[in-house]
Copies of this chain bind each other. A is one copy, B any other.
């Protein structure tokens, strides 16, 4: 799992029914060393009620679907809100 910063949301005019009612968060991946931005933003489905500006961790690829009961066709999900971390 990797760290990210919630930086926005995405809205659709039309989408597959599996995604109806889910929140599409735009997240910026962060390094664990200093929580600095790394790589490009992506869209992840929210599984914990994360809000704009929060530091979160997320899973990518098929395992993201397992965070939801209906196993939707998604490839990234926000799984937790970070309180802190120990880094040596």
**A interface list, Cβ under 8 A from B:** 1-3, 7-16, 18-19, 24, 26, 31-33, 38, 40-44, 47-49, 52-53, 57, 59-67, 71-77, 79-88
Contacts and interface: CB of A to CB of B under 8 A. Distances in A.
A12 B83 contact: yes
Q: How many copies does the complex hold?
A: 5
A80 B16 contact: yes
Given A18-B67, A75-B59, A83 B13 contact: yes
Contact of A73 (B16, B79, B86): B79
Interface pairs A-B: 3 shortest CB-CB: A15-B80, A66-B73, A12-B80
B43 A2 contact: yes
B49 A41 contact: no
